[in-house]
């Protein structure tokens, strides 16, 4: 008896045992009946037992066939599980949202509705630069952010899908002179020092976008500050240094602060979904579908020609790969 059994022969056996009809079993496997019969005979020879009793009127399992059938099924189930694990289809998909309560979270929620059988696990990294390094290293699967802010060598390792042009906003301490306004004209920030993640190596793409937006407008980027994780830490840091913070209009509410959209012009933060090239997972398919549906339903990829957006970002947002 050989030490190894070809799984193809076991599939022929299990299909024939399930149908008890060689023609139907062959059709189920998309092979000719002669090929199925040949595989069954080879398996019987390799095992040294007879598996079926075949007459002109019917096919039945022998006692040995009935005894070995559950073992054959378990072998094939194990092989299928191995292949699924190798392709990543059965493992959880790790999805970085950066912050809770934003557009990326809505995409994840819709994807979970579309693919309830998939385990889509949320993670909260700080910035796409940091998340992209985790994706390339295989420790994270999907993230959202400004693709054009990544190094070209990193971009080349990622696939992406445009999700939304997010209008930008400014988070102001309640006592700030501009906090009473419903909207903040961009030129009203002239002379202000605005925090935009400077000094945080994980948010380089965001700081770069702020630098491009503020250039020539008399707006300064605030120097590095401790990265505040959680609402209480954010409150404490803001209390010590109450300055405006560059954000987007969906940024979650923060204590003792007001969020105001920026206008004249409306600056846009280009949000893409990114993942490592070559990965295949039904959860990724669900995320892509969810992002496309939400964008279509809510006009996420529509923009006014007068809105502000760097040319490099505009080019990448028009390129879906």
The CATH code of the domain that includes 259 is 3.40.190.290
pLDDT at 85: 65
Q: How many structural domains comprise the chain?
A: 2
Given a cut of 70, whether residue 19 has pLDDT beyond it is yes
Burial of 113: CB neighbours in 10 Å, binned 0-12, 13-18, 19+: exposed
- Are the C-beta atoms of 10 and 75 separated by less than 8 Å? yes
- Enclosing domain of residue 134: 93-317
- Rounded to whole angstroms, how far apart are CA atoms 209 and 309? 9
For residue 241, what are its two tokens? Answer: 């240094």
Given a cut of 70, whether residue 141 has pLDDT beyond it is yes
Q: Is residue 60 part of a domain?
A: yes
pLDDT at 163: 97
> Does 207 lie in the same domain as 292?
yes
> Does 173 lie in the same domain as 35?
no
What does DSSP say about strands 245-248 and 220-221: parallel, antiparallel, or unpaired?
A: unpaired
Q: Is residue 138 part of a domain?
A: yes
Tens of pLDDT, residue by residue over 2-18, are: 678 899 999 999 999 99
> Does 119 lie in the same domain as 80?
no
Given a cut of 90, whether residue 238 has pLDDT beyond it is no
Q: Is residue 2 part of a domain?
A: no
Given a cut of 60, whether residue 94 has pLDDT beyond it is yes
Burial of 225: CB neighbours in 10 Å, binned 0-12, 13-18, 19+: middle
> Does 78 lie in the same domain as 120?
no
> Does 173 lie in the same domain as 252?
yes
> Does 109 lie in the same domain as 74?
no
Final residue before a domain boundary, out of 32, 67, 87:
87
């Amino acid at each position: 008896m050989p030490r190894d059994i070809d799984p193809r022969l076991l599939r022929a056996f299990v299909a024939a045992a399930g149908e008890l009809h060689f023609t139907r079993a062959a059709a189920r496997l998309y092979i000719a009946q002669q090929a199925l019969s040949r595989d069954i005979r080879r398996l019987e020879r390799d095992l040294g037992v007879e598996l079926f009793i075949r007459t002109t009127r019917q096919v039945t399992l022998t006692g040995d066939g009935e005894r070995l059938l559950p073992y054959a099924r378990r072998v094939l189930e194990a092989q299928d599980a191995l292949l699924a694990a190798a392709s990543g289809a059965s493992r959880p998909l790790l999805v970085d949202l950066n912050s809770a309560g934003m557009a990326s979270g809505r995409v994840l929620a819709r994807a979970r509705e579309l693919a309830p059988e998939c385990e889509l696990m949320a993670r909260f990294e700080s910035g796409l630069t940091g998340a992209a390094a985790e994706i390339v290293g295989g420790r994270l699967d999907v993230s959202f952010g400004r693709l054009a802010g990544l190094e070209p060598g990193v971009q080349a390792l990622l696939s992406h899908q445009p999700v939304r042009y997010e209008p930008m906003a400014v988070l102001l301490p309640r006592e700030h002179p501009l906090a009473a306004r419903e909207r903040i004209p961009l030129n009203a920030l002239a002379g202000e020092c605005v925090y935009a993640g400077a000094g945080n190596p994980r948010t380089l793409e965001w700081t770069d976008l702020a630098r491009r937006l503020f250039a020539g407008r008399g707006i300064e980027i605030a120097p590095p500050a401790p990265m505040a994780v959680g609402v209480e830490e954010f409150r404490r840091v803001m209390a010590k240094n109450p300055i405006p913070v560059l954000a987007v209009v969906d940024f979650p509410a923060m204590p003792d602060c007001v969020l105001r959209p920026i206008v004249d012009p409306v600056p846009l933060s280009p949000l893409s979904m990114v993942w490592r090239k070559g990965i295949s997972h039904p959860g990724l398919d669900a995320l892509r579908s969810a992002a496309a549906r939400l964008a279509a339903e809510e006009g996420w990829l529509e923009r006014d020609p007068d809105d502000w957006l760097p040319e490099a970002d505009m080019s990448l947002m028009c390129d879906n790969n």
